[in-house]
C-alpha cells in the first residue's frame, strides 16, 4: 500500500515503528477527546501518518522534541463557511526550537501576544 491510496491512517501506521504508531494513536485520542469531529480527526491522522512515513511533521508528532530546520507543521484554519480545514505551513525554525500545534484552538488564539508599541 502506498500513502497516496491509503484510506485509513492505521493502514499506514502498520508500516511505522511501534513508537511512532503509538504516538499517532495517542494524538488521535486527544483530538477526539478535545471535541474535534471524527471525520476531521480521521483526515488529519491520515495526513500525520503519511508525513510520518516520510519523516516529516516531526514537531507535530513529537511536540517535546526539537524540530529540525525546515520541518513542516499542520494547522487548522477557519473558513468563511464556518468549517475548519487543514493548511500546510512551512517553517524554518532553528534547530533546538520546539514547536507544538494545538489544533483545537483558532490560529489567532495560538499566537503569542505582542507587547504594545511605546512611543
Q: What is the C-alpha separation between 36 and 93, in angstroms, rounded?
A: 27
Residue 4 covered by a domain: no
Please report which helix (H) or strand (E) contains residue 60, including its range.
helix 58-61
Which letter does DSSP use for residue 50 in this model? H
The full length of the chain comes to 119
Q: What is the C-alpha separation between 32 and 98, in angstroms, rounded?
A: 24
pLDDT of 67 higher than 50: no
pLDDT score of 37: 83
pLDDT score of 94: 38
Residue 116 covered by a domain: no
How would residue 81 be classed by pLDDT, with cut points 50, 70 and 90? low
Note the pTM of the prediction, 2 decimals: 0.45
Domain count, the chain: 1
Tell me which residue has cell 503509538: 22
Tell me which residue has cell 516520510: 54
Which letter does DSSP use for residue 101 in this model? -
Q: Give the CA dihedral 93, 97, 98, 101, nearest 10 degrees.
A: -30
More confident residue, 92 or 119: 119
pLDDT of 21 higher than 80: yes
pLDDT of 108 higher than 60: no
Residue 3 covered by a domain: no
Residue 51 covered by a domain: yes
Give the residue numbers spanning the domain of 54. 9-110
CB 44 within 8 A of CB 84: no
Residue 118 covered by a domain: no
CB 99 within 8 A of CB 93: yes
pLDDT score of 17: 79
Amino acid at each position: 500500500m502506498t500513502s497516496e491510496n491509503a484510506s485509513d491512517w492505521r493502514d499506514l501506521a502498520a508500516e511505522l515503528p511501534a513508537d511512532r504508531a503509538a504516538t499517532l494513536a495517542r494524538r488521535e485520542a486527544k483530538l477526539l477527546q478535545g471535541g474535534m469531529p471524527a471525520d476531521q480527526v480521521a483526515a488529519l491522522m491520515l495526513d500525520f501518518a503519511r508525513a510520518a512515513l516520510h519523516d516529516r511533521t516531526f514537531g507535530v508528532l513529537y511536540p517535546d522534541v526539537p524540530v529540525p530546520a525546515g520541518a513542516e507543521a499542520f494547522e487548522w484554519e477557519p473558513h468563511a463557511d464556518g468549517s475548519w480545514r487543514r493548511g500546510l505551513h512551512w517553517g524554518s525554525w532553528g534547530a533546538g526550537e520546539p514547536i507544538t500545534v494545538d489544533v483545537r484552538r483558532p490560529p489567532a488564539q495560538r499566537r503569542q501576544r505582542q507587547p504594545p508599541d511605546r512611543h
